Structure 1
Amino acid sequence: MRLVRLDAEPSAVGADVRAAVTAWGEGESVLGGVAVFGCAPLGAPRPLDAVLVLPRGVVVVLGADLGEPATKLEAPLRTPWTVDGWPLVRDGAANPGLEALESAAALARGLQARGVEPLPVAAVVAVGPYAAQVTQPTTDLHRGLRVLSPTTTSVLAAARELATYERTCPAAAAHRLLRALDGGIDLSAAELVAEGFADTGDDDLGTTETVLLPKVRAAPRRPLSRRRSVLGGAVAAVVLACAAVLVVLLTGGPEPAAPARAVRQVDGVGFVEHAARRGTDCVAVSSGDVQAWFAEHPCREVSRARFATRTDGRPVVVAVTSVDTGDERSAAELRELAQQPGTGQVGVPLTGNGAEFDDAARAVQQTGARVRVVRAVWGDGPSAPEDVALRTAVERGLRLPL
């Protein structure tokens, strides 16, 4: 693994992470890839101790200092952490796991905004100075989060579990990804290939398959007389025409086939598009204080879509609204207003009257003159804004194409 240090690690345990990764050595014999230390992705809650750009995925590493060694650390996402039975006391976020997932999502959004072909982004929380036993719920492991005391073997095992994309990232795509992290990173194609990235000119991380179908020879026909052939063809044509007329008269015509629904992929998770609308009247499709703001600041365009997905085997409904305000200043005003509770909806979701999204998990994102609002609710029960599973769906919804 190639090492690049941009800045000092923001946590004390970050030095242990760097020591663990350094022990792997350069090249792909152990794992390969490039480790960037002291990285600060745009939109992340705080600087990261490391970003591991691997041939089959990206892993962000966030350090969490415990203050003193621990015998047992319980690290769930839904509740505060405990160290040897006592609540974790630290500066910053109360739950480092959520902070790590938000950092991973921010990095993924930043790469997509720069047009970089995204690899799946997972998260690791490195705790120290030492924790003999770390306990995580199984559902948290499935969300792509690992909490560990950093050693050469523990960080390596986590990276191998999390970076499992089906195809190796091409060297050219890895170069663009690293440049997006920091413009000063300029590794050559040969250096990246030596670290396990694919030596190919194909920058598309998607896969395609071409199937060649063999020609089928038609069976030889028995010879018929010309008169008999013409007569038979005429009779068959009349019968078919009469049958078609009868079908139209009795049924009103053949029933059209249902159109196939578009499926979008984010981090390997499918989102099925169930409805989409595009227009220019933001006032008509908003509510509350937001609607009043649009009355004074007409938008250029508003796009709304509703998607269905599944999380932990349960159905989730995701509503996405994207507004083109025309300029960055207006977009910043709208973002600040939309982030405040009780100010109304930016684009009523395309289902019912939108009331079912009152308790939704949500996120607001500004990119230039555009503001995107994403809401997610359970399709089979009550929802809560702080639900971790719904927040994960929301973060992915920020990267859904409209």
Structure 2
Amino acid sequence: MRLIRLGVEPSQIGVDVRAALSTWGGGDSVLGGVALLGVTPPDCPRALDAVIVLPRGVLVVVGVDLPDPAMRLEAPLSGQWKIDGWPLTRPDGATSPAAEALEATTAVARRIQDMRGEPLPVTTVVAVGPYVGQVVQPTGDLNRGVRVVHPKPTTLLAAARELATSDRPCSADHAAKLLAVLAPTGTPPDAGQLRAEGFSDAAADLASASTLLLPKVPPAARRPKWLPYAAAGVVAVLLVVGLVVALTSGGASEAASSTSAAPQPTTVVVDGRNFSPKGADRTEECAGHAFGDVRAWLAGHLCLQLRRAQFETSVDGRKAGVAVSELNLPDAARAAELHRVASVAGSGGVTALVKEGRTWPGGPVSFDRAAIKAVTKTNQVRIAQVVWVDGDSDPADPALTALADQALRLPAHQ
């Protein structure tokens, strides 16, 4: 367990939480993971004693200071808490401190979802003290993923093992993104440090997989394999599986493109117009694939991920190339700031894939003098660039600017 202290724990019992976690030591020999101590994630209603990011789950730890030590604590999620048979009274009139803990957990889960973080289960640990001999919780509350414990190394370890139960382990890259989402002011550990804490080398990006687009098989490259599937009372179903011709590219990048080609999705339709996908890319290195003022801004700010995609379409029989980029920022405020920079004429933008050698037959050789449109939504900034494949392009061309508006609704992945 790697500890990162970002602030003072908001409760007195939070000191015991930190002490218990520190006894596990670094590495994954006991449990692994990273604990953010004294952290206040964006949009969270309160400071948290800890957020523990584990390879198979996220634990939100909220400390509750009791007025006195207790031999027995009855701690339902809804209803009166009782200390040794006596009702717990608080100045604010609340009968169950668990409600505040659940509110914080909900905020953390929403933050991870909005930022497109790894979809790990987010559960709650309510740490109580100064001392509690026995905690009684209803079975239904336990099934909801909430544990009320006096924070000792053994009780926290048992809670973590019971609650962090994702079927798919989190990779080191996804863990770094999660940590940046939860604590955007700090710098997450590097991939090597995260692997030492039990995070895997890689994991399939199931959260971003699209089920709406089907693989496209060019007729010239089709190599059918008939796969029969039988079910009682139903005739066999035959599935044609094809191989896709690699995208050709100019210069030294041609060999690299031929070895990394992937099946391309079918045509995407926006407002009745067909857009043919011509390649996509994803990276966490945002500034290195931008230019102008946009590159300068990204070099000084945290960017979680850049997705790029390119398409081909036609307007009144004239072919056009389309480049779409999607930048994921830690929060809406920074997305709005980047949007202001990208919306200024001549301020730069994101480098199109064709400039990095990802061309396609009959496509544009560059996106110079492209019509550019940018839009922001929550923590994302989307930028669309459109040029004519043949002839000169004018950034003020009404046909190109209208096409750029449509392109903002294209997916940045294929």
Instruction: State the TM-score, normalized to the length of structure 1.
Output: 0.51
Equivalent position amino acid for 1:27 in 2: G
**Partner residue of 1:163?**
164
**Partner residue of 2:42?**
42
Are 1:167 and 1:205, in contact at CA under 8 Å, matched by a contact in 2? no
**Partner residue of 1:109?**
110
Are 1:117 and 1:204, in contact at CA under 8 Å, matched by a contact in 2? no
User: 1:54: Cα distance to partner?
Assistant: 0.3
Equivalent position amino acid for 1:139 in 2: G
2:35 is the alignment partner of 1:62: no
Q: Which runs of 4+ in 1 moved over 2 A?
A: 41-45, 89-94, 201-208, 212-216
Are 1:60 and 1:122, in contact at CA under 8 Å, matched by a contact in 2? yes
More strand by share: 2
Mapped to 1, the partners of 2:143 and 2:209 lie a distance apart of: 24
> What is the root-mean-square deviation in Å for CA atoms of aligned residues?
2.5
Match of 1:185 among 187, 201, 209: 187
User: 1:85: Cα distance to partner?
Assistant: 1.2
1:130-169 per-position Cα deviation (integer Å, ceiling 9, x unaligned): 1111000000000000001110000000000000000100
1:21-72 per-position Cα deviation (integer Å, ceiling 9, x unaligned): 1000111110000000011123333211000000000000000001221011
Mapped to 2, the partners of 1:215 and 1:168 lie a distance apart of: 31
CA 1:187–1:139: 2 relative to 1, 3 Å: same
Q: SS of the counterpart of 1:89?
A: coil
Mapped to 1, the partners of 2:207 and 2:144 lie a distance apart of: 22
Within a 5 Å distance, the mapping from 1:168-317 to structure 2 comes to 168-183=169-184, 184-200=186-202, 202-204=204-206
CA 1:215–1:201: 2 relative to 1, 3 Å: closer
CA 1:151–1:108: 2 relative to 1, 3 Å: same
Mapped to 2, the partners of 1:81 and 1:45 lie a distance apart of: 22
Of the two, which has the highest radius of gyration?
A: 1
**Partner residue of 1:28?**
28
**Partner residue of 1:19?**
19
CA 1:185–1:145: 2 relative to 1, 3 Å: same
Mapped to 1, the partners of 2:225 and 2:131 lie a distance apart of: 60
Within a 5 Å distance, the mapping from 1:365-376 to structure 2 comes to none
Instruction: State the TM-score, normalized to the length of structure 2.
Output: 0.49
CA 1:91–1:191: 2 relative to 1, 3 Å: farther
Within a 5 Å distance, the mapping from 1:313-332 to structure 2 comes to none
CA 1:43–1:96: 2 relative to 1, 3 Å: farther
Mapped to 1, the partners of 2:122 and 2:91 lie a distance apart of: 25
2:132 is the alignment partner of 1:131: yes
Q: SS of the counterpart of 1:73?
A: strand
1:257-303 per-position Cα deviation (integer Å, ceiling 9, x unaligned): xxxxxxxxxxxxxxxxxxxxxxxxxxxxxxxxxxxxxxxxxxxxxxx
Are 1:9 and 1:37, in contact at CA under 8 Å, matched by a contact in 2? yes
Are 1:65 and 1:90, in contact at CA under 8 Å, matched by a contact in 2? no
CA 1:78–1:160: 2 relative to 1, 3 Å: same
Equivalent position amino acid for 2:177 in 1: R
1:304-333 per-position Cα deviation (integer Å, ceiling 9, x unaligned): xxxxxxxxxxxxxxxxxxxxxxxx9xxxxx
CA 1:45–1:90: 2 relative to 1, 3 Å: farther
Equivalent position amino acid for 1:169 in 2: C
CA 1:115–1:131: 2 relative to 1, 3 Å: same
Equivalent position amino acid for 2:167 in 1: E
Mapped to 2, the partners of 1:207 and 1:154 lie a distance apart of: 37
Mapped to 1, the partners of 2:89 and 2:167 lie a distance apart of: 40
CA 1:127–1:91: 2 relative to 1, 3 Å: farther
User: 1:111: Cα distance to partner?
Assistant: 1.5
Mapped to 1, the partners of 2:31 and 2:225 lie a distance apart of: 40
Q: In the comparison of the two structures, how many residue pairs are matched? A: 217
CA 1:61–1:91: 2 relative to 1, 3 Å: farther
Are 2:118 and 2:170, in contact at CA under 8 Å, matched by a contact in 1? no
**Partner residue of 2:357?**
none
Mapped to 2, the partners of 1:97 and 1:147 lie a distance apart of: 9
User: 1:117: Cα distance to partner?
Assistant: 2.6
2:83 is the alignment partner of 1:83: yes
1:167-217 per-position Cα deviation (integer Å, ceiling 9, x unaligned): 100111110110011121321011111111110164446899xxx98757x
1:215-235 per-position Cα deviation (integer Å, ceiling 9, x unaligned): 57xxxxxxxxxxxxxxxxxxx
1:89-121 per-position Cα deviation (integer Å, ceiling 9, x unaligned): 235553121211111111011122222232110
Mapped to 2, the partners of 1:192 and 1:205 lie a distance apart of: 21
User: 1:125: Cα distance to partner?
Assistant: 0.4
**Partner residue of 1:394?**
none
Q: SS of the counterpart of 1:178?
A: helix
Are 1:9 and 1:15, in contact at CA under 8 Å, matched by a contact in 2? yes
Q: SS of the counterpart of 1:106?
A: helix
Are 2:73 and 2:83, in contact at CA under 8 Å, matched by a contact in 1? yes
Amino-acid identity (%):
54
**Partner residue of 1:152?**
153
